[in-house]
Amino acid sequence: MHIVVCIKQVPDSAQIRVHPVTNTIMRQGVPAIVNPYDLYSLEEALRIKDQYGGRVTVLSMGPPQADAALRKAISFGADDAILVTDRAFAGSDTLATSYALASAIRQIEKDIPVDMVFAGKQTIDGDTAQVGPGIAKRLDMQLLTYVSAIRELDLDGKSIIVERRAEGGVQVLKTRLPCLVTVLEGTNEMRFATMSNMFRAARHPLKVWDKEKAGIEDITKIGLKGSPTIVSKVFAPSPKSVKAEIIDTESNQPKDLAVTLLAKLFTRKPDLVRDIAKNAPWSN
C-alpha cells in the first residue's frame, strides 16, 4: 500500500494582517503552518498504514522554507517527503499547481506504484478546493471528496468504501483503487509525534525536486504562464460591527443565566421555537 499525501504550507490565517498602507498581505512574522485540512488527510493515511502496512510519502509544492511543513509530516510518521520547488512554479494558480503535483506523482510512481492519493479538502489561504480534484482528473483516478469515514478497504480486490458528506445527508460510495481522497475536518484527530519520529524529522534528508525532476514536460502549464486566474483586487473587508450584549441576572446562577439567555434568543429568532419543536425527539 503506497499512499501519497499532498500538503501545503500556509500562513496561519488567524494571525495574518493587511498592511495598512499598501493593502497587501503582510507575511513577515506570520507563522507558517501545515494547512489544517491536510492534517486530517495525513492522519487518515497514517491510520491506513498502521492497519494495512505500507508507505506514506508526503508531497508539497512551495518555496524552500516549506520543508518545515514536510518535516512536520515526517514527525507524525510519514516515511518520505518530497518538496517540489522551482522559481518556474512561482505564481501558479490551482490549474498549474494540480498539473505540477500530478506530474510529480507520476515520477513517484516510477519507483513505487501509488494506490491512493490524499489531499486536503481545501486550503485556508486559497479556499478553492480545486487542487485535489485537479490532480485526480489528470491522473485519471477516481475522486472521493468530503470523505468523513473510510468504511472498508479491500487491498486484494483493489476497492474502497467510504462515507461522503453530501448536501442533506451521507453518501456511501464504493470505487476502485487507485483513487484520490479529500477528507472532511473532524474526521480524526492528529496523533502526537513520538520522540524518535521527532528526531527522524529533524534529520530526514528531504528530496528536493526542481521542475525537471518533477517531470514537467510543458513549461507553459506551470507558473504564471500556466495560470489563467487573475486576481483583480485584494482588500481587507471592514470588520462587522456586532454589538455584544452582556447578560446579567441578579442571582448570577448558571440556571438563571441560561433561562434569560434562551428567552432572549427565542424573542430574537421566533423560528427557532418551531424548528426545535419539529426536531425534538418527542415529536416523532
Partner 1 sequence: MEEKFDAIVVGAGPSGNAAAYLLAKAGLKVLQIERGEYPGSKNVQGAILYSDALERIIPDFREDAPLERHIVEQQMWVLDDESYVGSTYRSAEFNKEPYNRYTIIRAQFDKWFSKKVQEAGALLICETTVSNLIMDGDRVIGVQADREGGAVYADIVILADGVNSLLAKKAGFHAELDPKDVALAVKEIHFLPQNVVEERFNIGEDEGVVIEMVGKITQGMMGTGFLYTNKESITLGVGCMLSDFKMQKTTPYALLEQMKEHPAIRPLIAGGEMKEYTAHLIPEGGYKAIPKIYGDGWLMVGDAAMFVNAVHREGSNLAMTSGRLAAETVIALKEQGKSMTEANLALYREKLDDSFVMKDLKKYKEMPGILHKNPQFFTTYPELLNRAAHSMLTVDGVDKKSKEREIRRNFMAKRSLFGLMGDAFKMWRAFE
Q: C-beta of 48: minimal distance to partner 1 in Å? A: 21
Q: How far apart are CA 128 and CA 126, in angstroms?
A: 5
Q: How far apart are CA 154 and CA 133, in angstroms?
A: 23
Q: Which is nearer to partner 1, 196 or 241 (CB)?
A: 196
- Total residues at interface with partner 1 (CB under 8 A): 15
Three-state SS annotation for 167-221: CCEEEEEEEECCEEEEECCCCCCCCCCCHHHHHHHHHCCCEEECCCCCCCCCHHH
Residues 6+ apart with CB under 8 A from 82: 57, 58, 59, 60, 70, 104, 108, 206, 207, 208, 209
Residue 157 in grid coordinates: 480486490
- Is 29 a binding residue for partner 1 by CB under 8 A? The answer is yes
Q: Which is nearer to partner 1, 30 or 155 (CB)?
A: 30
Q: C-beta of 150: minimal distance to partner 1 in Å? A: 25
What track of x and - describes contact with partner 1 for positions 172 through 211 (by CB under 8 A)?
A: --------------------xxxxx-xx--xx--------
Do the beta carbons of residue 35 and residue 9 sit within 8 Å? Answer: yes
Region of 14-22, 56-64, 122-130, 221-229 interacting with partner 1 (CB under 8 A): 14-22
Q: Which is nearer to partner 1, 74 or 179 (CB)?
A: 74
Specify the residue for cell string 499525501: 5
Distance of CA 221 to the CA centre of its chain: 24
Q: C-beta of 34: minimal distance to partner 1 in Å? A: 12
Interface pick for partner 1 out of 24, 28, 267, 284 (rule CB under 8 A): 28
Region of 23-31, 45-53, 153-161, 230-238 interacting with partner 1 (CB under 8 A): 23-31
Q: Which is nearer to partner 1, 25 or 149 (CB)?
A: 25
DSSP for 18-50, please give it.
E-TTT--EE-TTPPEEE-HHHHHHHHHHHHHHH
Q: Which is nearer to partner 1, 75 or 98 (CB)?
A: 75
Do the beta carbons of residue 118 and residue 183 sit within 8 Å? Answer: yes
R_g (Cα) of the chain, nearest Å: 23
Residue 174 in grid coordinates: 464504493
- Is 31 a binding residue for partner 1 by CB under 8 A? The answer is yes
Interface pick for partner 1 out of 14, 21, 230, 280 (rule CB under 8 A): 21
Q: Which is nearer to partner 1, 32 or 149 (CB)?
A: 32
Q: Which is nearer to partner 1, 200 or 213 (CB)?
A: 200
- Is 281 a binding residue for partner 1 by CB under 8 A? The answer is no
Beta-bridge partner residues of 153: 160
The residue ranges that bind partner 1 (CB under 8 A) are 17, 20-21, 28-29, 31, 192-196, 198-199, 202-203
